[in-house]
Amino acid sequence: MAMSKRRRAIMFRRAQYALLIVIVALIAVFADWEDIRRSFFNVDTAAKMFPTVIQTALVNTIIYSAFGFAIGLGLGLLLALMKLSPVAPWRWIATAYIEFFRGVPALLVFVALSVAVPLAFGLKFDINSTAGLALGIVGSAYIAETIRAGILAVPKGQIEAARSLGMSPGRTLVTVTIPQAFRIILPPLTNELIMLIKDSSLISVVGLTAADYELTKFGRETLSRSPSLTPLLVAGLCYLIITLPLGHLSRHLEKRTGGRKIGTPESTGLGVSA
Amino acid sequence: MKSSDVVTDVAVEITGLKKSFGPLEVLKGIDVSVARGEVVCIIGPSGSGKSTLLRCVNLLEEPTDGKIVVNGVELTDPDCDIDAARTRIGMVFQGFNLFSHLSVLNNLTVAQRKVLKRGEKQAQEIALRNLERVGLSEKVNAMPAQLSGGQQQRVAIARALSMDPSVMLFDEPTSALDPELVGDVLGVMRALADEGMTMLVVTHEMQFAREVADRVLFMDGGYVVEEGPAAQVIGDPQHERTKSFLARVLDPTHQGPSA
Ligand SMILES: Nc1ncnc2c1ncn2[C@@H]1O[C@H](COP(=O)(O)OP(=O)(O)OP(=O)(O)O)[C@@H](O)[C@H]1O
Ligand SMILES: [Mg+2]
């Protein structure tokens, strides 16, 4: 008795649901719920983490990320403009920087800034500067490429209109090209911010005092005192409090600016060329 | 900056203009003189160099050779302050090119404030006056994306006018518009011509050229092949190439494969 293709597809889908139900049922019956609850979600441990996890750890994570993103944006914009410069050496320097910092682990940069640079130059950064600089230096390498793509995606006609109204190349860049580029790259830029927030956990390689703990370090410290997964779960949830809305925002912006894809053929020129 | 204008009867003087893109020579020696207050329409087949000629007049394209003088200022002089000169040369594009991140009002005021250094209040007054001229006062706070093509083009004209130009360049201003929107834009241009604005208009609107232009230039293959009063060039063309071009444009059933 030959089954139709369509019928076979329906049967196959039903079989998958059945399998899932069996697996869930087995887990429900055989798992040691008490044990799981103790290791994953120990209410006492979780309760003890509050309010420090918010007041110190979450706040520090946000502060480090904000510093890092601000520096990353500034440096990234500078690098993007250097890469688009008609002056070749600027392009070479920017390319070298971008390739270097995209190619080495971010952790290395954190160690360098917290240990090597202070040793070599006799400088001492406070913790916000170290975190901000390290995150900014690494982040800018990625952000620069995004901004560059955004600038190139601004339609040539916009720049020609500005120039034909008598705006100088610099004025055009500031008044037309950069504002439009940022509108175009808002979605990928939001993703870069999310990456940067997650990378802020790397600061824990720099021996921190308790007041400087960010989420990951705070989670690990709590973990060493009460060995269960709970502290990490709480820390993880705190990250999600920031990153989920950002991810949502990014997708929303993507939809809103939809249709304008970076690197379309019509995209050209920069307000810098005559 | 009006004072820097040398008052002459000649608004635009183009002599021996050549322009190449790499090995491709697009303009092969153009001589055109436009009197103050004159309306000159440029017609010709696709690829003949009409846009390139127009874009050379405000140096959006750098001429390979030749001389361009606008309002007595030689733009091709290496020492010329091209940004200052451009404030007196309005340009209207086929694709409107309104600043998409700015409202209609800011589209009209941004260059007034940042380039001409006019105060906010004065810039807005001038903007509103020019919006009224193109019949779009009620759109002052709209964003460009909220406007029809015809409305966008009229705002673009108002934006150029807000700089108080003495010459206006139009590159196929109605070619991207739905047929029913063409009339509004041509109406605005006609009014501008009546007010005595010096205009260079690249267009395929033969009716407009016939009625509004003081002079028509026919371009083909990088040369001005024929020029004269509109009635003559369009009504009674002398040159073979002008005849065949007009036959194609005026009677679409004769459309050749390249039209
Ligand atoms: N930036 C450029 N680089 C290379 N070639 C170009 C460039 N701009 C124009 N050209 C070439 O120059 C020639 C003339 O172009 P132009 O745009 O001036 O023609 P046109 O008369 O305006 O035509 P159309 O009626 O299609 O607008 C074409 O062959 C075009 O491909
Ligand atoms: Mg053209």
pLDDT tens per residue, range A228-252: 888 999 999 999 999 999 988 888 8
Q: How far does the CA of residue B242 sit from the closest CA of chain A (Å)? A: 31
Is some CB atom of chain B closer than 8 A to the CB atom of A28? Answer: no
pLDDT at A260: 46
Residue B196 CA: distances (Å) to CA of A181, A267, B107, B167, B212: 39, 37, 25, 10, 11
Are the beta carbons of B143 and B166 closer than 8 angstroms?
Answer: no
Supply angle C-alpha A26, A28, A31, rounded to 5: 90
Lowest mean pLDDT among A190-204, A217-231, B80-94, B115-129: A217-231
Q: CB atoms < 10 A from the CB of A195, how many?
A: 14
> In 3-state terms, what secondary structure has residue B70?
strand
pLDDT confidence of B253, banded at 50, 70, 90? low
Q: How far does the CA of residue A147 sit from the closest CA of chain B (Å)? A: 17
> In 3-state terms, what secondary structure has residue A41?
coil
Give the H or E element holding residue A199: helix A178-199
pLDDT at A119: 80
Q: Which two tokens stand for residue A127?
A: 């913790």
ipTM of the complex: 0.92
The residue type found at A48 is K
pLDDT higher than threshold 50 for residue B13:
yes
- Please list, in sequence order, all residues whose beta carbon lies within 8 angstroms of the beta carbon of residue B78, skipping any fewer than 6 positions away: none
pLDDT at B78: 94
Atom in ligand 1 nearest the alpha carbon of residue B52: 18
Residue B161 CB burial class (10 angstroms; 0-12, 13-18, ≥19)? buried
Are the beta carbons of A49 and A231 closer than 8 angstroms?
Answer: yes
Average pLDDT, chain A: 88
Task: Classify the C-alpha dihedral B138-B141-B146-B148 as positive or negative.
Answer: positive
pLDDT confidence of A261, banded at 50, 70, 90? very low
Can you tell me the mean pLDDT for B210-237?
95
Residues facing B15 on adjacent strands: B67
Cα torsion at B1, B3, B9, B14 (round to 10°)?
A: -50
For ligand 1, atom 16, name the residue with the nearest CA: B49
pLDDT at B46: 95
What is the CA(B23)–ligand 1 centre distance, in A?
13
- b/e burial code for range B104-115 (CB count within 10 A of at least 16 → b): bbbbbbbbbbbb
Lowest mean pLDDT among A43-57, B36-50, B145-159, B203-217: A43-57
Is some CB atom of chain A closer than 8 A to the CB atom of B91? Answer: yes
- Please list, in sequence order, all residues whose beta carbon lies within 8 angstroms of the beta carbon of residue A132, skipping any fewer than 6 positions away: A64, A67, A68, A70, A71
Phi and psi, residue B169, nearest 5°? -110, 130
Ligand nearest to the CA of B249: 1
The residue type found at B165 is P
Q: CB atoms < 10 A from the CB of A39, how many?
A: 14
Q: Which residue from B19, B20, B24 has its CB within 8 A of the most atoms of ligand 1, so it is best to mutate?
A: B24
Can you tell me the mean pLDDT for B173-186?
94
pLDDT higher than threshold 90 for residue A132:
yes
Q: pTM of the full predicted structure?
A: 0.86
Are the beta carbons of B122 and B129 closer than 8 angstroms?
Answer: no
What is the CA(B70)–ligand 1 centre distance, in A?
23
Specify the higher pLDDT residue, A30 or A181: A181
Can you tell me the mean pLDDT for A176-183?
95
